[in-house]
Amino acid sequence: MSRTKVAVIGSGNVGTGLMVKVLRQSTTLKMAAMVGIDPDSDGLARAHRLGVSTSARGVSGLIAMPDFDEIDIVFDTTSAGAHRANAAALGPHGKRLIDLTPAAVGPFVVPAVNLDQHLDAVNLNTVTCGGQATIPIVAAISRITEVPYAEIVASIASKSAGRGTRANIDEFTETTARAIEVLGGAARSRAIVILNPAESPLIMRDTVLALINDPESEHDAAVRHSIRSMVAEVAAYVPGYRLKHDIKITPLAPDAALRTLVGDAPVTHQVSVFLEVRGTAHYLTACAGNLDIMTSAALCIAERIAAVSLSFPVPRRAG
C-alpha cells in the first residue's frame, strides 16, 4: 500500500520530534525529507542516521531535492516569520502545508474540535502547544453554555523550548488568544505562557479559567461531563493528556470586579480546569509535553488528509 510522502522544515526540537513520530507511529505517512538551516543540528544528523533525505539549505534545499515532486504534505516547524516566507516559496508547487508555528496564515485546526472542517485548505495552522491543550476545554464548556471570558496559562519546561519557540513568545500569546475565541467559542480571552526553568524539568501544565453565567447551577453536571468527554477525545491522539485535578465550578462574589474582562455580560461562576501533558519521550524527555501535543496534533491532521485523499482507514491511536 502506498503511503503519503511528507517533509519537515525545521530541524529543531519540534521538527525532530515530529520526524521521529512519523517514522515510529504512522502507517499512512512516509518520511521523505528533513530540512533545516543549521548543518550541525541534531535533527539533521538524526535524520541522516535514520535514512531520511536531508538538506541544510532550508526550503530552497527542499525544493531542489530530486523527489520533491512526490512530496504531498510539508510540515513547517520553524517560526512565524520564516513560515510566511516558506509558504510563499512552496505556494507555486501545490503542496499542502501544516504549520506548527503561530503564524496563523491558514485556518486554525485542533483535531478534537474541528479536524474535518478544513481538510481542503492549502495551509492549516495548529495554533500553539498551549492552544492545543486548552482550546478543547473551552470548546467543551461553550458547547453547553456561553463563555463570556476564558483565560489560559501554559507552563512548559524551559529546556523543551527551542529557539523558534522562544522567538515567538509574543505570537504565541496572540495566536492562542485569538484561537480561544475562534475555535473555543469564548467572547473574550487571554493567553499566558510560562517557560519554567526548574531542575529537574517539570511536566507541561495548563490551566483553563472560564467565566460563565449559570445562576441556578443547572449546567454544572453537563459542563463537567462535556469536559471529561473532551479530555478523552484529546487523549486518543495525545496519550499523555489528562486532568490533573478535579474540575472546579465556583460561584463568583456578587461584587466581583469583572467588567474589564466581560464588559456588560452577566457571569455567575468560574470553571477551573487543571491539565497535565506528559511527553512520550520519543524525542527529549517526558517533560516535553508541549512538543508532544503539537506533533501529535500535526500527525493526526496529516493522517486524516491522507485518509481522505487515498481512502485509507483513519487511524485511532490510544498510545
Q: Which residues are catalytic?
A: 129
Angle at 278 between CA 274 and CA 284, to 5 degrees: 145
Cα 142 from Cα 185, distance rounded (Å): 6
Residue 182's CB is within 10 A of a number of other CB atoms, namely 16
Which amino acid would we find at residue 64? A
Q: Look up residue 86 and give its three cell numbers.
A: 516558506
CA distance 142 to 156: 26
Strand order in the sheet with 96-99: 53-55, 29-35, 4-9, 73-76, 96-99, 123-125
Give the count of beta carbons closer than 10 Å to the beta carbon of residue 120.
9
Contact between residue 139 and residue 185 where contact means Cβ atoms under 8 Å apart:
yes
Burial of 305 from C-beta contacts in 10 A (0-12 / 13-18 / 19+): buried
Contact between 241 and 231 under an 8 Å Cβ cutoff? The reply is yes
Name the pairing type of β-strands 53-55 and 29-35.
Answer: parallel
Residues forming beta bridges with residue 273, ordered by sequence position: 208
Angle between helices 129-142 and 289-310 (to 10 degrees): 70
Q: Which residues pair with 204 in a beta bridge?
A: 277
Give the angle 52-58-62 at the CA atoms, nearest 5°.
Answer: 55
